[in-house]
Each structure stands twice: as C-alpha cells, then as structure tokens.
Chain A
Amino acid sequence: MKKILQRYAKFLLIGGSVLIFSGTAFAGKTHLTMGMVLEPPHLDPTAGAAAAIDEVVYANVFEGLTRINQNAEVLPALAESWNISTDGLTYTFKLRNGVKFHDGSAFDSSDVVFSLDRARSEKSTNAQKALFAAIKDVKAQGANKVVVTLKTPTGNFLFNMGWGDAVIVDSASAGSNKSKPVGTGPFTFKRWVKGDRIELTQNANYWGTKPALKSATFKIIPDPAAAVAALMAGDVDAFANFPAPEMAAQFQSDLRFTVKVGSTEGETILSTNNLKKPFDDLRVRQAIAHALNSQEIIDGAMFGFGTPIGTHFAPHHAAYVDLTGTYPHDPEKAKQLLAAAGFPNGFKATIKLPPPSYARRGGEIVASQLAKVGIKLEIIPVQWAQWLDQVFKNKDFDLTIVSHTEPMDIGIYTRPKYYFQYRNPGFNAVIEDLNVTADPKKRYALMGAAQAILAKDAVNGFLFQLAKLGIWNKNVMGLWENSPVQANDLTGVSWNN
C-alpha cells in the first residue's frame, strides 16, 4: 500500500512539474487559440446577422473605413482621415495608400464605392441595411478619395461605418467571402475545419503595424463543460465570452488565469412572436412581463453576471432610461391580465432555445416563472443553425431567448419583417426623427422616448444585459474587456514574456 502511495506521489510530482514548466513554455508564443461557443454560419460579415462571423473576421480579416476600439471610440482604418461638411451631409474620406487585399489586388476608392453600393442596394443581403439607409450617394474622387453624401445629417455615421457589416470587400472576391474571406486586415484566412476550428495566419503584406501574433485559431466548443476543461488543460488560451459563469469564481482563484467581467451590447430578451396568437394581444405580453423575474433569471442562469433591463437598450449607454419598473414582477397582476385577455386558465406555447447557456438555462427558469401564472411552455432545444433558420429566418416560433449583441440596435424594432414582427408606426416615427436629428440632447430625448414605447408595448420580455465574462491565460495581453461591437480584435494581442 505504501509503495502504491509513493508511486502515486511521484506521479503527482511529475504532473506538477509539467504544469510549472508548461507555464514558462508559453513565453515567446506567437499563436493564440480562442474558444467560441457558436460556430459562424459563414464568414462574410456583410451578409449575415450572426455575431460569430464578426467575432472571427472583424478587424482581423476585414477592415472598414473606420474601426471601433474596445472603448467604443471611432478610429481611422482604411480611411486615413475624413472631412465633414458644415451641414453634416458630405463626408470626404481620404483613403490609405498601398493597401492590398489578401489575394494581392490593390485597394482603392472603387472598392469603397462597390462595397457601400452593394450593401445598400435593393438586392443586398446585408443584415444591417439600416446602417446605410442615410447614404444618398457614394462617389470616387480619384483613386484615394471617396465622397459620401447623406440624405440627412446622421450623428452615428462614422460609428456605423466601423461596424463589421460595413467592411470593405473586393468586387472580385465578394461572392466567395462566405467560405474564403478576402479582406485587407492583418490576418489572412487559412482554413476552416467545419465544426471544429477556423485558422488565421498573419498577413505578411499588411499596410499597418503587424500584430504580435503570427497565427490564431478560433476553436468552436459549444459545450460549457468542455470549455472549462479546454481552458484548464491549456488547449484554449482564451474565451472572450465564457459560457459557464458558475466557474468564474474558480478561475478567479486560479493564478493561471485572468478573469474580466465587462459589458456587452447584448440585450438578452425573451423574443416574442408579436404577430402570432395569443402574443399579438398586448395584455398577454404585459402578463408575461409581469410574470418574469429578471433578477432570478440572472442569478439562476448567469450566476449573478448581468444587469436587469426594462427595454431594448444597453444600461451603460448615456441615453439609457431605467424602465425595469414598467411591469414589475407581479404574478397576480399577470393572472388578471391573462383572464382579461380571455385566458383565465392560461395557455400552452413553445419556447425554442438556442445552445448558449444563458438561453438554455434562462429558458428553464422562464418556463417555470410563466408556469406559475398558467402559461405552460414546452421547451424545445435547437441547434444554432436550426435557430437561425426556423426562428430568425422563417419566424416559426412562439417564444425564444437570444442576446442581441449589436450596438445601438433599437432600430431593429422598426423592421416589420424582423423575426419578432413588431409593427408600430408611432415607434417608427420616433426612430425616423432620431435618424435626422444631430443635436445630442434631442437625440437622447428621442432615444428615451423610443425605449419607453418598447417597454410599454412589452414587445419582448426584456431580461438582462449580457455581461462579458472573459477568461484567458494570464500571460495573454490586449484582449478586449468590453464588447462595444461584436469582435475579437486580435491586432493588439500579445503574449507576455
């Protein structure tokens, strides 16, 4: 028995020393493996709404005229500088010289004209056409200058041009970007092993400062338990959005890791099919709002990481209005409203849940909260591709839970064909007004009004603002702590030697 113990102890020693040595072995590393929960459906940020696309290619493979940094500031990218006319209608962008796409073709003003015209055309498949709605005309002025004329002054225009959806693509490769993205960024696409990983390598011909990383791998790990194991074992160096919040404390106490809790633009909502009976009845939606207990969902599904919201707006934004008290948690009131709507005994419905743990766990809690007022939900777990197809594209759902991680995306409520199918001319008028208002004070007032309408209409169940729980090897420097746009910007990432 003693011998066995001795041998065991030896094993532990060996194991321990391997751990210690592997720590030092990281020094001088130039490769980063980043874990992701969801696999992107494709890799063209100008043709899809999935955040996972931007999380791989934004700032790494593709660049826009401007770029957003982790503090939501607008920085020059392919546009070196710009001039704005005094009436706010004409933007003259001076483009960078000597920029080449990954396939070797040169970047110039014609690519900008092509990309912006393509994004705002009738046939455009861009998921964020609203970003380009204000553009009246895009014209090249020589090879290095582009003049963009707007219909109305748009305060956010430079920020909008920094979105992943507004990146500049080459006309020759635009059609094949979904499987083989060709951009101007510091990393080139190497390969995509479907269901497993996406590999990028450094672009030797990059126009700007070359990143410290020589290569990067985005590893797709949908299972939270596997994510924990991969981080612990060092198979993955970083998780920008770690899927198992219950493990945060464990990683915090582990000296090998850095844990950062930041903010995201992710309004996590109980999306409701506003056209489908009985959810088309305001009283039913109000009843759901009264039945929900956001704090309980944050505690149960996110282990406390998250901020309750009362409308579709990020709490860290200056124009945020706290509307969490619009329909406070009140099951009795919910029952009365249901009875008034003709459902004294409640009703049955389904809830489709995509894979992230906020949705799967949150869905179970929502189902139990709604059950208390008589709404019996059948829980249907779906894969991400199924969710995009059934729920987002074909609107075949009653309820679902998803986090909307685009910045300042309150405008999605003006789209009549958006998957939750909310239609309110009054709301659209406010947003239209907002789009043509430049004065910050007035803009904030309009944003506040828009928030209030959504809260009052109980369009969706507004649950919480997703926290960004980033966990990475303590030697990895320069990863974003907040997510003002959907991105895993690797340009500033390095290993600490």
Chain B
Amino acid sequence: MNDSRLSEFWQNSLRHRSFVIGLILSFMMLFTGLLSLFWTPFPVELLDIPHKLESSSAKHWLGTDHFGRDVVSMLMVGAWNSMLVSVFAIGFGAGIGIPLGALAAAKRGWVEETVMRFNDFAFAFPALLTAVMLSAVYGPGTMNSVLAIGIFNIPVFARITRGSALSIYKREFILAARTAGKGDVRIAVEHILPNIASVLIVQGTIQFALGILAEAGLSYLGLGTQPPMPSWGKMLSEAQTMMFFAPQLAILPGLAIVFTVLGLNLLGDGLRDILDPRISRLR
C-alpha cells in the first residue's frame, strides 16, 4: 500500500464507528496483556489467605479472590494468557489451513477433493472434543488448548482460502502470469495471497475472538490453563460457588471476556466493511 492509499484507508476507517470502538477495546486488551509482562500490582502466584475475599480498596483496586490474590493482577495476566493461546492457535490453524486451501484451489481435481474432505472431517470435530481427547492422552495444559483450538481453525482457514482463491484464479492476470512462466508456488505467493489477504485478515480477527472464547471455555472446564497460572475461564469457574457472597469474582472475568470478544468482533466487522470495497475495486 502506498502512502495515499494508506491515509485513505485510515480516513475511511476512522469514520467507521464500530471499527474505532473495536480497535480501542482490542488495543486495551493488548496493552493490558503486554503490561502484565513487566508489571502487575501484585504477583499472581502470591497467595495471601488472611486477606482473602476483600472488596475493592486503594491497595487492591478490584479486591482479592478466595486465595487473597489481587484480582486486577489476575485479570491482566489472564489477558496475556488468553491472547497468547489465541495467537498461537490462530497461527497454527492459519499456517496449515492457508497453504492447504491454496493447494486445493491451485491443483483442483483429486487433491482438492482430498484436502476438502479432510477439512470437513476436522470441521465436524468440535474444539472441545479435541481438547478432551488431548488432555486424556497428554494431561490438561496450555499446549493442549493451543493445539485443540488450532486444529479447529485449520478447516476454517482452508475453506476461506480456497473459496477466495478460486475466484482469483479465474482472472486474466493469473493467465498472464502463467504465460510469463511463473510456477504454481510463485503465482500463489505473489498473486493469489496478496489479493485474498484482506479476507484472511478479517477472518483472522473473528477467529481470534473465537479463540479467546474457546480458551476461556477450556480453562473453565479445567482442560486449558493450569494453576497457578490465572486465566479468565478458570477465574469464572472458581468464582462459581462464591456467586452468592462475592459476585464480583465471576462478573469481572466475565466482563473481560465479553469486552475482548466484543472488541475483536467489532474490529473484524469494521475491517470487513472497510476492506470489502477495495476487493470490488480490484475486480
């Protein structure tokens, strides 16, 4: 993108309200997560039983949980954990799914059939089941949630890559490139991927939101992030039996999940709206 198009993009974007809100929410999460790497009000491993279940104060802004841990610190580290799991899972899914989709679109025939049927199979297998299976074999852990969510993402990316790539393959400039002697790989990397990048970015954002939700779900069930590492889903499940006298312990991580997923979805929706006309312009 050159400078003028970039500034045009930003101008369009900033007029898009949901994009701006989504961007702000997502940046807040990113910032909190990154900040937790360098600083949290209290260390999250610090159990301080005498000060358990305190309400918010100048010392503990959002109070403490049933082990006397600082809720703000846990939410911050939880943000980072959620992001980390999601990023790796999306990376894993996209890293395998996009090449597979591109291969299917480029080769067609039996290759396409094989790849897409394999995808259907993987798609029919919910992330939760994969995670249960993995944890049964290797024990629960963060790595398993990354793998489970990642596997779930492969067919998502493969499908969208293949679908978008097929429409590009029909275009004349691909024929031109082929006439110029470019091989399949070069065509895919130099012409197909750049032209479907915006679709993939939008999908990636939405999958990221789903990843956060899935990580929270798995940790809630005890299959994801393990103690003593805090995670939003784990905070929710631990707070469940304390709903009657310390509802904030469930509400706060719940709100964190809601706002993060909302932010990422708004961001994805906004990106799609903004990027879509550009795709049509290319046509």
A365–B67 CB distance below 8 A: yes
Name the one of A228, A249, A379 contacting B226, with C-beta atoms under 8 angstroms.
A379
Known contacts: A225-B237, A246-B242. The answer to whether A365 contacts B226 by CB under 8 A is no
Which chain A positions have C-beta within 8 A of B226?
379, 381
**Nearest chain A CB to B254 CB, angstrom units:** 14
**Nearest chain B CB to A257 CB, angstrom units:** 13
Known contacts: A379-B227, A381-B140. The answer to whether A365 contacts B241 by CB under 8 A is no
Q: Does B52 contact A (CB under 8 A)?
A: yes
Which chain A positions have C-beta within 8 A of B242?
246-247
B49–A365 CB distance below 8 A: yes
Which chain B positions have C-beta within 8 A of A225?
237, 240-241
Tell me the bound Cα distance from A414 to B227 in angstroms: 35
Which chain A positions have C-beta within 8 A of B228?
364, 367-368, 379
Within 8 A of B (CB), among A131-186: none
Name the one of B45, B47, B241 contacting A300, with C-beta atoms under 8 angstroms.
B47
Tell me the bound Cα distance from A365 to B48 in angstroms: 9
**Nearest chain B CB to A451 CB, angstrom units:** 27
Q: Does A410 contact B (CB under 8 A)?
A: no
Nearest opposing residue in chain B for A363, CB measure: B227
Tell me the bound Cα distance from A296 to B140 in angstroms: 28
Chain A interface category by residue count: 20 to 34
A381–B222 CB distance below 8 A: yes
A368–B47 CB distance below 8 A: yes
B49, B139, B226, B245 — which one has the most chain A CB atoms within 10 A of its CB? B49
Q: Interface code B218-233, partner A: CB below 8 Å = 1, 0 otherwise? A: 0000100011100000
Nearest opposing residue in chain B for A295, CB measure: B49
A224, A249, A296, A369 — which one has the most chain B CB atoms within 10 A of its CB? A296
Tell me the bound Cα distance from A380 to B141 in angstroms: 9
Tell me the bound Cα distance from A284 to B36 in angstroms: 35
**Nearest chain A CB to B141 CB, angstrom units:** 9
Q: Does B46 contact A (CB under 8 A)?
A: yes
Name the one of B46, B139, B240, B244 contacting A368, with C-beta atoms under 8 angstroms.
B46
Name the one of A249, A300, A363, A381 contacting B66, with C-beta atoms under 8 angstroms.
A300
A364–B241 CB distance below 8 A: no
Tell me the bound Cα distance from A257 to B244 in angstroms: 16
Tell me the bound Cα distance from A225 to B237 in angstroms: 8
A249, A361, A364 — which one has the most chain B CB atoms within 10 A of its CB? A364
A299–B227 CB distance below 8 A: no
Known contacts: A299-B49, A364-B67, A379-B227. The answer to whether A224 contacts B241 by CB under 8 A is yes
Question: Chain A interface secondary structure, helix, strand, loop or mixed?
Answer: helix
B49–A296 CB distance below 8 A: yes
B47–A365 CB distance below 8 A: yes
Which chain B positions have C-beta within 8 A of A228?
240-241
Within 8 A of A (CB), among B120-160: 139-140
Which chain B positions have C-beta within 8 A of A380?
139
Known contacts: A365-B67, A380-B139. The answer to whether A247 contacts B47 by CB under 8 A is no
A299–B46 CB distance below 8 A: no
Which chain A positions have C-beta within 8 A of B50?
296, 299
**Nearest chain A CB to B43 CB, angstrom units:** 10
Which chain A positions have C-beta within 8 A of B245?
246, 249-250
B222–A300 CB distance below 8 A: no
Tell me the bound Cα distance from A249 to B246 in angstroms: 13
B47–A364 CB distance below 8 A: yes
Tell me the bound Cα distance from A368 to B227 in angstroms: 11
**Nearest chain A CB to B45 CB, angstrom units:** 6
Tell me the bound Cα distance from A75 to B3 in angstroms: 92
A371–B244 CB distance below 8 A: no
A364–B227 CB distance below 8 A: yes
Within 8 A of B (CB), among A327-341: none
Which chain B positions have C-beta within 8 A of A236?
none
B46, B50, B67 — which one has the most chain A CB atoms within 10 A of its CB? B67
Tell me the bound Cα distance from A363 to B47 in angstroms: 12
B222, B228, B245 — which one has the most chain A CB atoms within 10 A of its CB? B228
Which chain A positions have C-beta within 8 A of B244?
247, 250
Within 8 A of A (CB), among B37-71: 45-47, 49-50, 52, 66-68
**Nearest chain A CB to B221 CB, angstrom units:** 10
Q: Interface code B230-274, partner A: CB below 8 Å = 1, 0 otherwise? A: 000000010011101100000000000000000000000000000
**Nearest chain B CB to A286 CB, angstrom units:** 23
Q: Does A244 contact B (CB under 8 A)?
A: yes
Tell me the bound Cα distance from A190 to B130 in angstroms: 35
Nearest opposing residue in chain B for A229, CB measure: B240
Tell me the bound Cα distance from A299 to B240 in angstroms: 18
Nearest opposing residue in chain B for A382, CB measure: B139
A247–B46 CB distance below 8 A: no
Cβ contacts A to B, 8 pairs, < 8 Å:
A228-B240, A247-B241, A247-B242, A300-B66, A364-B227, A380-B139, A381-B140, A381-B226
Q: What are the 9 tightest A-B residue pairs by CB atom distance, in nearest-first order?
A: A225-B240, A368-B47, A300-B49, A244-B241, A296-B49, A250-B244, A224-B241, A225-B241, A379-B227
Using A225-B237, A225-B240, A368-B46 as known contacts, list a sample of 15 further A-B pairs with CB atoms less than 8 Å apart, ordered by residue number in A: A246-B66, A246-B241, A246-B245, A250-B244, A299-B50, A300-B49, A300-B52, A300-B68, A364-B228, A365-B67, A367-B227, A367-B228, A368-B45, A368-B47, A381-B140
Which residue numbers of A lie inside 8 Å of B, CB to CB?
A: 224-225, 228, 244, 246-247, 249-250, 296, 299-300, 361, 363-365, 367-369, 371, 379-381
Which residue numbers of B lie inside 8 Å of A, CB to CB?
A: 45-47, 49-50, 52, 66-68, 139-140, 222, 226-228, 237, 240-242, 244-245
